[in-house]
Each structure stands twice: as C-alpha cells, then as structure tokens.
Amino acid sequence: MNTSNIKNLETELRNPHTQTIDSMNTLDILTAINKEDMTVPAAIQKCLPLLAEMVNEICSRLEDGGRLYYVGAGTSGRLGVLDASECPPTYGVSPLLVQGIIAGGDSALRVSSEGTEDNPQQGRSDLIKAGITKKDAVIGLAASGRTPYVIGALDYANSIGAYTGAVSCVSGAQISGHARIAAEAVTGPEVITGSTRMKAGTAQKMILNMISTSVMIKLGKVYENLMVDVQPSNKKLLLRAASIVRECAGCGEEEALELLAASGNHVKYAVFMGITGCKAEEAETYLKQAKGHLRLALDIYKEHF
C-alpha cells in the first residue's frame, strides 16, 4: 500500500487549529469542534451545481421505474443506509426505491468490517445481489475518495448502463474518475486527524439529506413544504397527518381526521378532498392524472371549473 498517497489527502492532514486539543478544557474542546463544523456548509455550497445535475438524473431514473442505491463502507456506508431507511416513513415510498448498501452487510452497521472495503469484487457482487439494472442510479460514497469496494460497485454499475455518481471529501478523488458525475466537498483536516466521521461525515450526511429530499420533492412527495405522502402508521404520525391536512385545507382537527378516514388515511387524497370538496375516488383520479403531484392535480381540477 502506498501510504504517501493517503497522507496527501486533505482528510488525513493535521489540523493546525486543534493540535493542542488534548490540553483544552471541555468548553474549549466543544468550541473548537463547533468552529470546524461551521466550515462544512461552505464546502458543500461549491458542489451545488453538480448535486443539482445528480438529483435531476436520479429523478429521471426513478420516474422510469428505476431505483437509487447508495454504496459505501464504514461511516459513509452507514450514512447511506440511514438516509435510505428514512425515505419510506417520511415519504411513503417502498423500501426498495432507495437502498443503502454497506461493505460487510447489515452487521457492519454495528460492528466495523474494514477488511471488506478493500475488496472491489465484493462491491460488484453486492450490487448484483441487490438486483441492480440499467434503469437504476448508484451513488458511491467515500470520504477519502479511494475505497476499492465503492470503486468496484461503480465500475459494475457503469458496465451495465446504470447512472453513477460519487460523493467524496477530498479534491481529485479516485472514485470521481469512476462516476459520470462527482461531487467533492473538500472539508479539510479533521479535528482529530483522520477521523472522517466528523467533518467529512457531517458533509456526507448533509449531502445525502439534500439529495433524497430534493428527489422526493421532484417526485411529488411534498406539497408546499409538507410531507403529504407520510404514512400515518402510528398515533404520532396520524396526528402529524391530521395537522398537514389542517394546514393545507384550512379546516379544524375533527374535519381533518374525518377527511383522513374518508380517504383511507391517504394524506394527499385528504388534502385534495378538503380543498376541492371532491370524494376520494375523484381525488385519486386527479392525482393519477398529475402523476402524484398534488399542486398539479389541483391546477388540473381548477381548469375544469
């Protein structure tokens, strides 16, 4: 292994602002960490045009029946699994639509499996096992930008015609050359040298939030800034759903709950019904015509009257 290449990565450099952190008091330690964290959004801001391209292509794939896969190892892999697992309860999508694949499998979410990340063939095999097709999108995640497992997955995805993107936290990342589009959020030296679960991890978490949220907005899962496809599967979520209906339809809580019941607990239908006075069947028809976009469905409805 060529360690000189590793030492030149921005994520592996020593941070001059924290070289005495071991002698600081608790408040100063926290202040130093917080100050470094404040630099992360600026690093991400430089990537926004690239991320916009990535989101648009992902949306195109998903609208055509494809899926989104995040692939990573260690912290990057865990963050990918986290973001994917949050999509079904938040936006009512199938767990298969956005999937996180981590080197070492699900057990690596709790127990590190560093050896697996050095195996590019395993990255390929895990994508094959997941059933990836040319309709899908694969986003490779690696703070250092050089994880062989991720490179193997990206190479296979490219070979079958799937869309590929890469997210890293160093300049000139190796994985960038294995993806159609690459976002490099250069977060610089970590507070603790090489601890990429810190600033680099924060950057990746923020970017994944941005990608999945933007994708879901563009897929019609959001009306105004409300989660109109949330699944009211427990008491808390039922109250949230009722609150969304109240906000959108301008009605009281009792009416909101009645609308939800009449819609079969389908928030989007209930909102449409509350605004237009239509029945659930009519709401379903308009929303199908609008491909699930509530604002467009309401516009279509208004054109008829």
**Annotated catalytic residue within 10, 36, 117, 184:** 117
CA distance 211 to 136: 15
117 assigned to active site: yes
To 5 degrees, how large is the angle CA 147–CA 148–CA 152? 125
**Annotated catalytic residue within 12, 53, 57, 86:** 86
Per-residue tens of pLDDT for the chain, all 305 residues: 344 467 789 999 999 999 999 999 999 999 999 999 999 999 999 999 999 999 999 999 999 999 999 999 999 999 999 999 999 989 999 999 999 999 999 989 988 877 789 999 999 999 999 999 999 999 999 999 999 999 999 999 999 999 999 999 999 999 999 999 999 999 999 999 999 999 999 999 999 999 999 999 999 999 999 999 998 888 998 999 999 999 999 999 999 999 999 999 999 999 999 999 999 999 999 999 999 999 999 999 999 87
CA distance 169 to 171: 7
Rg of the chain (C-alpha set) = 22
Which domains does the chain show, CATH number per domain?
6-218 (3.40.50.10490), 235-303 (1.10.8.1080)
Other C-beta atoms lying within 10 Å of the C-beta of residue 225? 7
